[in-house]
């Protein structure tokens, strides 16, 4: 199974980021089946399920509204809270009453992963427009038997979102260039009454994300095909020096006071309050949070790669984390309207507009000039191809990532050892 990687520099001209139960409508309601339309000349309407982490996340509804204004095609957007979204999607698909479109995750590592749902027969194969947008090297995250089953939305750099003003106020003039610098910076931040990083330690997806961010330099910078080697049985987590170093760094960061007090009980609210309020300098969150949290708090945040250790180079996680998928049960009229929507999204103008709304990097049409300000510190890494996708997207099942996330929780509380966590990940790989 292919690791989502980039083995070549990012092509700026053709570059190859998750809502409670009220309905948000683009134009007039399209109706439960999505085939009503206010304009007889427009195509059949359709419905769309989206994940919404907070009330300020409006980039999906705003994009759909713009599409309706341009085409007359009505789209009913159905938002679900991010923590319930995966369950809603899988339950409704199994029951046969899911929306016509939905936001999915590439690969196989989550319950709403494209490949897993496609293999189960829940998704409609898509055409050349969608295929052409897949980032090079990540085809296996979207395709089954040569057919494409989802269209990527945008590219999302993932690292430590950093509060520059809070760091300056604490007397920290520069972001740490190396891991040793980071440990020293943690001490300086503590002296100023702050923590370097705020962690949602009670939320396995966030503890797992922190570990993945560290693994970018510890594992994938030197061995970009590590996931393929693991799939072939040539390596294991338990025998990997890079993965051992990754988890040992988590223990080291905890013992060095780099996380906030009570990090093991931290939640997503802890991240919003700590990063937005300036009591923590950084957080392990997707890069688009730099825009959403920064705008809500009225501050400027940037995205940074995790500092490399000895003999390592700067390296970043960046991937197309979200994709448009289509319910296999849609009728022909809705297929035509949905294809119009996918084609519209695939134009450089709309790809750039969506990325700006979502706080991401355009999947096509990106240039240094339209790269959002939060990504300026990692622009050179993106341009040179010094990045890899989220590792768990290529893992064979959601259990491996759950073992990582819950395992890091155990490291924080002292209930797990590094060796136990790695053994659990290997066992979950199966």
Using 50, 70 and 90 to split pLDDT, how confident is the model at 350?
A: very high
Q: What's the DSSP call for residue 75?
A: E
Nearest by Cα to 175 from 289, 373, 273, 314: 314
Is 322 a residue whose pLDDT tops 60? yes
pLDDT at 13: 28
pLDDT of residue 160: 97
What is the per-residue pLDDT for 264? 97
215 membership: H or E segment, kind and range: helix 204-215
- pLDDT-derived band at 362, boundaries 50, 70, 90: very high
Name the pTM for this structure: 0.78
Residue 125, classed as helix, strand or coil, is coil
Separation CA 330–CA 353 (nearest Å): 27
As a whole number of angstroms, the distance between CA 360 and CA 41 comes to 34
pLDDT of residue 33: 40
> Residues 153-177: what's their mean pLDDT?
95
Instruction: Using the predicted structure, report yes or no on whether residue 12 has a pLDDT greater than 60.
Output: no
* Model confidence pLDDT, tens digit, residues 278-320: 999 999 999 988 988 998 899 999 999 999 999 999 999 998 8
Q: What pLDDT is stored for residue 87 in this prediction?
A: 92
In sequence order, the 6+-apart residues with CB closer than 8 A to the CB of 194 are 166, 170, 278, 279, 280, 281
Mean pLDDT rounded to a whole number for the chain? 88
pLDDT at 17: 30
Task: Give the architecture-level CATH label for domain 24-153+320-363.
Answer: 3-Layer(aba) Sandwich (3.40)
Q: Give domain limits for the chain.
A: 24-153+320-363, 156-318+383-429
Question: What 3-state class would DSSP assign to 362?
Answer: strand
Lowest mean pLDDT among 192-206, 226-240, 355-369: 355-369
Q: Return the higher-pLDDT residue of 74 and 397.
A: 74
What is the CATH code of the structural domain delimited by 156-318+383-429?
3.40.190.10
Q: What is the pLDDT of residue 292?
A: 84
pLDDT tens-place string over residues 58-100: 899 999 999 999 999 999 999 998 878 999 999 999 999 999 9
- pLDDT value of position 404: 98
Distance CA 139, CA 131 (A): 8
Position 10 scores a pLDDT of 39
pLDDT for residue 38:
44
Residue 41 and residue 149: Cα distance in Å, rounded? 29
**Selection from 237, 308, 290, 274 nearest residue 17 by Cα:** 290
Tell me the C-alpha to C-alpha distance, in Å, between residue 81 and each of 54, 145, 416: 8, 33, 31
Which burial class, exposed, middle or buried, applies to 55 when counting CB atoms under 10 A from its CB (0-12, 13-18, 19+)? exposed
Give residue-wise pLDDT tens across range 24-45: 333 333 333 444 444 546 789 9
- The burial class, CB within 10 Å (0-12 / 13-18 / 19+), for 113 is buried
Residue 135 pLDDT class (50, 70, 90 cuts): confident
Report the pLDDT averaged over residues 353-374.
Answer: 89
Q: How far is CA 306 from CA 17, 264, 313, in A?
A: 19, 21, 10
Sign of CA dihedral 366, 217, 319, 9: positive
Q: Which tokens hold the place of 401? A: 């990532």
Check residue 129 and give its pLDDT: 96
Is 205:266 a contact under the CB 8 Å cutoff?
no
Structure confidence by residue, pLDDT tens digits, 238-291: 999 999 999 999 999 999 999 999 999 999 999 999 999 999 999 999 998 898
Give the residue from 80, 186, 150 showing the smallest Cα distance to 328. 150
Q: Which two tokens stand for residue 68?
A: 């309706």
DSSP string, 244-295: HHHHHHHHHHHHTT-BPTTGGG--HHHHHHHHHHTSEEEEEEETTHHHHHHH
120 pLDDT exceeds 70?
A: yes
What secondary structure letter does DSSP report for 178?
S
Choice between 47 and 3, residue whose per-residue pLDDT is larger: 47
Query: By the 8 A CB rule, do 245 and 251 touch?
Result: no
The percentage of residues in the chain with a pLDDT greater than 70, rounded to a whole number, is 89
So what's the pLDDT on residue 110? 83
Judge whether 24-153+320-363 and 156-318+383-429 match in fold: yes
Determine the Cα–Cα distance for residues 314 and 143; give it in Å rounded to an integer.
31
């Amino acid at each position: 199974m292919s690791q989502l990687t980039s083995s070549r520099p990012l092509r700026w001209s053709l570059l190859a980021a998750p809502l409670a139960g009220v309905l948000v409508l683009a134009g007039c309601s399209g109706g439960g089946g999505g085939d009503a339309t206010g304009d007889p000349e427009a195509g059949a309407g359709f419905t769309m399920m989206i994940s919404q982490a907070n009330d300020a996340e409006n980039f999906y509804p705003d994009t759909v509204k713009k599409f309706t204004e341009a085409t007359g095609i009505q789209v009913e957007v159905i938002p679900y809270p991010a923590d319930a979204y995966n369950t809603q999607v899988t339950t409704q698909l199994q029951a046969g009453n899911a929306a016509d479109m939905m936001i999915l995750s590439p690969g196989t590592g989550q319950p709403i992963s494209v490949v897993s749902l496609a293999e189960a027969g829940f998704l409609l194969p898509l055409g050349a427009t969608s295929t052409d947008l897949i980032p090079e090297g990540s085809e296996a995250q979207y395709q089954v038997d040569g057919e494409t089953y989802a269209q990527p939305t945008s590219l999302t750099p993932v690292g430590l979102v950093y509060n520059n003003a809070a760091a300056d106020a604490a007397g920290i003039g520069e972001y740490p260039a190396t891991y040793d610098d980071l440990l020293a910076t943690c001490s300086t931040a503590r002296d100023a009454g702050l923590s370097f990083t705020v962690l949602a330690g009670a939320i396995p997806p966030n503890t797992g994300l922190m570990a993945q961010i560290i693994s970018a330099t510890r594992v994938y910078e030197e061995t970009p095909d590590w996931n393929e080697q693991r799939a072939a049985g040539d390596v294991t987590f338990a025998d990997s020096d890079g993965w051992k170093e990754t988890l040992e760094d988590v223990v080291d960061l905890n013992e060095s006071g780099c996380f906030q007090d009570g990090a093991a009980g931290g939640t997503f609210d802890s991240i919003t309050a700590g990063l937005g309020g300036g009591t923590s300098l950084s957080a392990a969150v997707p890069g688009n949070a730099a825009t959403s949290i920064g705008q809500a708090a009225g501050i400027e945040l940037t995205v940074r790669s995790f500092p490399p250790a000895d003999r390592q180079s700067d390296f970043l996680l960046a991937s197309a984390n979200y994709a448009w998928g289509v319910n296999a049960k849609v009728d022909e009229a809705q297929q035509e309207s949905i294809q119009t929507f996918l084609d519209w999204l695939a134009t450089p103008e709309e790809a750039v507009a969506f990325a700006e709304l979502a706080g991401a990097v355009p999947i096509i049409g990106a240039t240094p000039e339209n790269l959002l300000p939060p990504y300026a510190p990692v622009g050179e890494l993106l341009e040179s191809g010094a990045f890899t996708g989220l590792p768990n997207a290529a893992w064979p099942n959601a259990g491996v990532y759950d073992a990582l996330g819950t395992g890091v929780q155990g490291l924080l509380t002292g209930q797990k050892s590094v060796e136990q966590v790695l053994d659990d990940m290997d066992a979950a790989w199966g």
